[in-house]
Structure 1
């Protein structure tokens, strides 16, 4: 099944494949309706990596298409030093003019809140209008406080695990637009079911892909694959 609708939600697209490897994937994202895309996450090498003109040119095409762009920065659950993460953000800003940041491997523990509060403050000071926390599971409710992250990724995992997900009660106190669920290894015949389930679980932003393995996000969301073959990870 292709072209499944994520109900009234929007797509977060982790575009973790180099444009030289799969230019058609980048072209499909650039051709998407900007109103359907919450943001595209740029990730050259688990961060900004070294300067890459092919990557930069492809990013510019996404910007020209009016898509919001987030730079990926790994926080290693609070173990990467503040200054190192901020340097990643500044590098993305300088090279690609990002307007937001996707902080990944964000701790779920309340004790790490001060560290992430400082990171969010630094990101906004650097010009990031959007801050996303990639927890991958539900964090302490304190991470949903106003002024911290705009979007919390409270699930990242495979389809089997997603079907068993239970929502903590505290999530009901916040708007669906604050939450994102990222689901991989979704069979094609379950794409519509995945989209419906994301919406039913009050995640206003989501993504369901067929990919598996170490980098399932080198495959496109089902919503963007209509009419093109699905690229499987190698």
Structure 2
């Protein structure tokens, strides 16, 4: 796989203001633990592309009324709610994944799915395609995000709405490189999740996302204490500032 350092992917370029940059919230804590966060996400004007609902590492074992209420509030403001499906880097049995997807749909009426820890290799593509085909038989036009967390084999881009091509700490993101093949796709196809971003480096982080052609982002000053998921459980301390920058259209 070839890479280009500091080269824009897709249509990103200095001074561009039409990339429709917005947020994808990958793992806010359960509404019982984070009620104010869910209420804030449901406020109008937040440039949210979608929010992931992760009840208990998936849909849980029974319907949760608090999660149903939180998901409904988001949908009422026009925000997609995606069910969390953990592929465990390809080790999760197909039947378990589809069973979780059915419960997400039956209990929470989700609009699509984030396939977390999605494998990225060429040899795994066939099984991921099988999973995606099954998901599309369960509901009409689900929005599907593949959570690779790195640049996958390019063929994955043909089978999902969006790919997460970076998920990790700011210390890695600020020096990251973009895969050359991403230039064949618009920025709306790519997502970046970055934790540990200091307030003073927000402008730099937004520049990296724009140069690399990722229109869906989640930047936070949270850190991965017990695992990467911990970093996404709350809103960043500079949430209002970040919302203001995205809402006005970030330009260079």
TM-score of the superposed pair, with normalisation by structure 1? 0.88
* Residue 134 of structure 1 pairs with residue 160 of structure 2: no
Q: How does 1:222-233 map to 2 (within 5 A)?
A: 224-226=239-241
Partner of 1:168: 179
Structure number with the bigger relative contact order (C-alpha 8 A, sep ≥ 6) is: 2
Check the 8 A contact 1:207/1:221 in 2, yes or no.
no
* Residue 95 of structure 1 pairs with residue 107 of structure 2: yes
2:25 and 2:241 map into 1 onto residues whose CA distance is 15
1:96 and 1:226 map into 2 onto residues whose CA distance is 31
33, 37, 40: which is aligned to 1:21? 33
Task: Evaluate the alpha carbon distance shift between residue 221 and residue 13 of structure 1 in structure 2; reply closer, same or farther with a 3 A threshold.
Answer: farther
Partner of 1:77: 89
Check the 8 A contact 1:182/1:208 in 2, yes or no.
yes
Q: How does 1:199-214 map to 2 (within 5 A)?
A: 199-212=210-223, 213=225, 214=227
2:241 and 2:30 map into 1 onto residues whose CA distance is 21
- SS of equivalent residue, structure 2 residue 152: coil
C-alpha displacement at 1:222, in angstroms?
6.5
Task: Evaluate the alpha carbon distance shift between residue 170 and residue 223 of structure 1 in structure 2; reply closer, same or farther with a 3 A threshold.
Answer: farther
Q: How does 1:191-202 map to 2 (within 5 A)?
A: 191-202=202-213
Q: How does 1:106-185 map to 2 (within 5 A)?
A: 106-127=118-139, 128-145=141-158, 148-185=159-196
Greater displacement, 166-175 / 102-111: 166-175
- SS of equivalent residue, structure 2 residue 178: coil
Unaligned runs of 5+ in 2: 1-16, 243-252
Deviations 1:80-117 (A, max 9, x none): 11111011111000011011100010111100111000
Unaligned runs of 5+ in 1: 228-234
Partner of 1:231: none
Task: Evaluate the alpha carbon distance shift between residue 140 and residue 177 of structure 1 in structure 2; reply closer, same or farther with a 3 A threshold.
Answer: same
C-alpha displacement at 1:18, in angstroms?
1.4
Partner of 2:58: 47
How many pairs does the alignment contain?
220
Deviations 1:123-146 (A, max 9, x none): 11111521110000001111112x
C-alpha displacement at 1:118, in angstroms?
0.8
Greater displacement, 6-15 / 136-145: 6-15
